[in-house]
């Protein structure tokens, strides 16, 4: 049997840049299974079909790695430096995406940890590492491993440290000796605080620890494919990719943001990637997938694909009344190969030009009349809808 003391395991993890580590068994997460089942039945997963997998699968680590005896859960913090005013013509990017793609960064460090463990216990170690890549209830595992507690925002909160971190797991046949650190789980609670619930711009929380994904800005800007409904366009505000509001207002994050805590490892810092905002003009000018991949390859923004990011950029331009982007929106509405991008760029172009008064109104009408002949039905339908609502 492979065995290692928890103190030794934590020392090995620290050598890999993994400063937070906890261990739990592979038993089923029964209470979390029932909570997930209720959430699914209420239809709160929006378009995320992968979250509709059988709850027994997501809540049972033993099914992921047969023969596993333990789940080693680690947390690694990303950039918590303060955010300044949003530059004109830019869209906000959620903190987790400021640096390099966390999946690769964390997986590499977990693999290094597995190698170090193997060096301690021998080649008999059987282990697999995961970084948001398998159907596991990671926050529930982190809670059971003693890292922290799940707050009203559904986020795992590490008391004294906050929520701005990634979780990763190493499932193995290793038996961990908990010795003197058998440790009591981290204790904490939200108390009477409701900040995350009340400050959410879209009121996406339908109860404590219950999120309606269809109203979440992160879902709308990252996971949702195709067109955004007009109400959804207004909902995303100036967020180009993701949203941090429920975390920014959490008191558990106050100190780390105030002190400008850097990421645990350089790859997850703003300097290593795209940072807190992007120029909407630059994004709207990306006309092909190859250019998109050259610009954002190796970052979390690959998740939304070129079409999704340009769709978001057009919407943010309209929401922020970025008049300087009129030409870029016009070009995207005429030239882009994606009907979704043309549709949203058309809507945004009309919104901005109509704000310019009578001269803008003429430009809007002229563009909409031409868009009626767009080969994509959704673009032509958008044009007809907008024309019907323009003042006579």
Residues assigned a catalytic role: 132
Find residue 129's DSSP bridge partners. Answer: 170
* Cβ–Cβ under 8 Å, residues 79 and 228: no
Sign of the Cα torsion 240, 244, 248, 249 reads positive
First to last CA, the chain: 80
Residue 95: exposure state from Cβ atoms within 10 A (0-12, 13-18, ≥19): buried
Instruction: Look at residues 229, 221, 215, 219 and name the one whose alpha carbon lies nearest to residue 305.
Output: 221
């Amino acid at each position: 049997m492979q065995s290692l003391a928890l103190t030794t395991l934590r020392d090995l993890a620290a050598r890999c840049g993994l400063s937070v580590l906890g261990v739990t068994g592979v038993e089923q997460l029964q209470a979390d299974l029932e909570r997930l089942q209720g959430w699914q039945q209420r239809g709160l997963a929006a378009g995320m079909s992968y979250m509709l997998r059988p709850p027994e699968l997501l809540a049972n680590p033993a099914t992921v790695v047969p023969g596993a005896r333990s789940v080693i859960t680690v947390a690694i913090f990303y950039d918590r430096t303060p955010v300044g005013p949003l530059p004109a013509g830019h869209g906000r990017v959620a903190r987790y995406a400021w640096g390099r793609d966390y999946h690769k960064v964390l997986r590499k460090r977990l693999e290094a940890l597995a190698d170090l463990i193997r060096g301690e216990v021998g080649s008999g170690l059987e282990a697999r590492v995961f970084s948001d890549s398998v159907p596991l209830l990671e926050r529930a595992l982190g809670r059971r491993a003693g890292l922290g507690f799940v707050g009203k925002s559904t986020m795992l909160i590490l008391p004294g440290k906050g929520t701005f971190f990634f979780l990763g797991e190493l499932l193995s046949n290793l038996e961990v000796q908990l010795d003197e650190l058998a440790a009591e789980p981290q204790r904490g609670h939200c108390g009477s605080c409701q900040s995350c619930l009340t400050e959410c711009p879209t009121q996406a929380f339908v109860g404590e620890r219950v999120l309606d994904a269809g109203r979440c800005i992160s879902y709308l800007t990252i996971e949702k494919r195709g067109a955004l409904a007009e109400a959804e366009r207004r909902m995303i505000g100036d967020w180009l990719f993701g949203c941090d509001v429920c975390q920014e207002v959490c008191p558990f994050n106050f100190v780390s943001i105030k002190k400008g805590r850097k990421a645990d490892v350089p790859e997850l810092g703003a300097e290593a990637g795209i940072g807190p905002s992007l120029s909407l003009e630059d994004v709207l000018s990306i006309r092909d997938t190859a250019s998109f991949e050259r610009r954002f390859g190796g970052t979390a923004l690959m998740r939304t694909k070129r079409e999704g990011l340009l769709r978001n950029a057009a919407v943010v331009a309209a929401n922020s009344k970025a008049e300087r982007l009129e030409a870029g929106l016009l070009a995207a509405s005429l030239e882009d190969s994606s009907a979704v991008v043309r549709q949203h760029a058309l809507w945004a172009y009309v919104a901005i030009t109509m704000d310019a008064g009578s001269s803008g109104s003429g430009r809007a009408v002229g563009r909409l009349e031409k868009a009626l002949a767009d080969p994509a039905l959704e673009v032509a339908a958008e044009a007809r809808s907008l024309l019907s609502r323009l003042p006579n």
